[in-house]
């Protein structure tokens, strides 16, 4: 017997929406508004999500047109099994159940009409509404930047105070909340299933903490329809994300507008904030990631400023403001801020090997936090992962330096009686 559709009226963000429900399985719905394009609602269900893999043959859960907006949900890791009450032993058991794939629960894929290989997908982040809790964790002796140095594991759940935009990570230690998607990416060119852990030219697990509301990500398209996924919601993260996680959460609302740019190709994703363009470089070796980053930055400056490569190189060094996004996803990430205002002057932040420079700088911060703030080393490891900012100093000669910073402003009078 054919199931009949039902019509419901919903108030959303001050707009009356007509929502159609009429399928046995979870469906997305399109609603008409006064905004350009349509607005689509995409819940996170078992039918609209995948656990830990990409596949460019995956059937889309939603089809949209360029200029449409999508208001979606995301789940916590492991299909919402990483929630308060889940112990480290439980999470280790779940991890062993899904070998060869990521822990991320992907919402999607979304098929974008008209998107073809060689195009660029423009994804503008309009609004992010996370859940009220988050988690930071490291597996005992597994993954993270220092698995051998931290054979113990720890899982820490925190309340996300969105009224004050902070989370009390440790007694009296408050982390500013800046929600962003750890994963926002399109399908890879290669057929088959691939783990969501490593990021790449397709975006994915970039863990780029600048992708907050108001920012835009530009992604090269590799397959027809692009196939867009989102996942790995973060409430906060330090540049480096060294213990494997930031403050992981899920989004009750992740609101994006998607467009297709024809006639413009990209080798690597780029991002845009209200004040800066961000160039990216990713590789399993941070030294190679830095070389990609420098190449991408010079290329961007030549395009934007319409200058020759030597002039672009000089401008890059004059305005050098580059960071390490993450070092724990097999493929490691770097990015540079490129100011839209040509008059802006960023702050200037060794070892010949950037991997070793990052190891030394971040371990020095862990030790400093443990000593000066009297934290146990696992707490220091976790705090550095969610709040530290690791910056690449301007390269000089054969050496490169990394400066890792942790704001003193995180420490203040506890909000509750200890």
Q: What is the pLDDT of residues 358-403, one digit of tens each?
A: 999 999 999 999 999 999 999 999 999 999 999 999 887 778 899 9
pLDDT at site 352: 84
Q: Is 141 contained in some domain?
A: yes
Q: What is the pLDDT of residues 31-90, one digit of tens each?
A: 655 557 899 999 999 999 999 999 999 999 999 999 999 999 999 999 999 999 999 999
Q: Is 188 contained in some domain?
A: yes
Q: Is 404 contained in some domain?
A: no
Structural tokens at position 225:
């329809």
Q: Is 389 contained in some domain?
A: no
Q: What is the pLDDT of residues 304-355, one digit of tens each?
A: 999 999 999 999 998 999 999 999 999 999 999 999 987 765 554 468 899 9
Q: Is 101 contained in some domain?
A: yes
Q: Is 35 contained in some domain?
A: yes
The whole domain housing 20 covers 6-263
Q: Is 126 contained in some domain?
A: yes
Q: Is 328 contained in some domain?
A: no
Please give the average per-residue pLDDT across 151-172, as a whole number.
97
pTM: 0.88
190 vs 193: CA distance, rounded Å: 9
Asked whether the predicted pLDDT for residue 220 surpasses 50, the reply is yes
Please measure the distance between the N-terminal and C-terminal CA atoms of the chain and give it in whole angstroms: 61
Looking at the structure of the chain, the number of domains it has is 1
SS3 state of residue 315: helix
Among 216, 220, 211, residue whose Cα is nearest residue 187:
220
Q: What are phi and psi of 354, to 5 degrees?
A: -65, -30
Q: What is the pLDDT of residues 245-280, one digit of tens each?
A: 999 999 999 999 999 999 889 999 999 999 999 999
Q: C-alpha angle 334/228/220, rounded to 5°? A: 50
Domain of residue 67, CATH code: 2.60.120.580
Q: At how many degrees (to 10) do helices 354-372 and 286-305 cross?
A: 110
């Amino acid at each position: 017997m054919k199931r009949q559709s039902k019509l419901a009226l919903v108030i959303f963000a001050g707009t009356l929406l007509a929502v159609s429900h009429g399928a046995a399985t979870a469906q997305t719905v399109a609603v008409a508004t006064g905004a350009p394009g349509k607005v689509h609602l995409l819940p996170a269900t078992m039918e609209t999500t995948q656990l830990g893999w990409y596949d460019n043959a995956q059937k889309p859960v939603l089809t949209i047109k360029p200029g449409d907006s999508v208001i979606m949900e995301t789940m916590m890791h492991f299909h919402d099994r990483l929630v308060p009450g889940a112990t480290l032993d439980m999470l280790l058991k779940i991890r062993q159940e899904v070998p060869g794939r990521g822990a991320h629960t992907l919402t999607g894929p979304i098929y974008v009409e008209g998107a073809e290989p060689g195009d660029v997908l423009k994804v503008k982040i309009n609004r992010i509404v996370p859940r009220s809790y988050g988690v930071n964790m490291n597996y005992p002796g597994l993954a993270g930047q220092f698995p051998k140095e931290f054979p113990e594991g720890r899982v820490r759940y925190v309340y996300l105070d969105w009224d004050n935009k902070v989370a009390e990570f440790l007694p009296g230690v408050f982390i500013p909340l800046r929600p962003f998607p750890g994963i926002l990416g399109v399908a890879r060119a290669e057929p088959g299933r691939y783990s969501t852990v490593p990021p790449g030219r397709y975006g994915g697990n970039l863990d780029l903490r600048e992708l907050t509301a108001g920012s835009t990500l530009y992604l090269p398209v590799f397959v027809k329809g692009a196939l867009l996924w989102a996942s790995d919601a973060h409430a906060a993260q330090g540049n480096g994300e060294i213990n494997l996680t930031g403050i992981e959460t899920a989004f009750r609302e992740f609101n994006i507008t998607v467009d297709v740019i024809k006639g413009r190709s990209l080798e690597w994703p780029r991002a845009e904030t209200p004040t800066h363009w961000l160039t990216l470089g990713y590789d399993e070796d941070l030294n190679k990631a830095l070389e990609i980053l420098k190449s991408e930055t010079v290329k961007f400056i030549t395009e934007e400023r319409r200058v020759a490569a030597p002039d672009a190189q000089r401008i890059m060094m004059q305005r050098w403001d580059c960071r390490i996004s993450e070092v724990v996803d097999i493929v490691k990430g770097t990015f540079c801020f490129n100011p839209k205002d040509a008059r802006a002057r960023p702050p200037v932040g060794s070892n010949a090997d950037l991997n070793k420079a990052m190891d030394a700088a971040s371990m020095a911060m862990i030790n400093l936090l443990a000593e000066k703030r009297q934290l146990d080393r696992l707490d220091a490891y976790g705090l550095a992962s969610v709040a530290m900012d690791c910056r690449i100093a301007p390269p000089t000669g054969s050496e490169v330096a990394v400066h890792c910073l942790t704001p003193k402003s995180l420490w203040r009078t506890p909000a509750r009686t200890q």
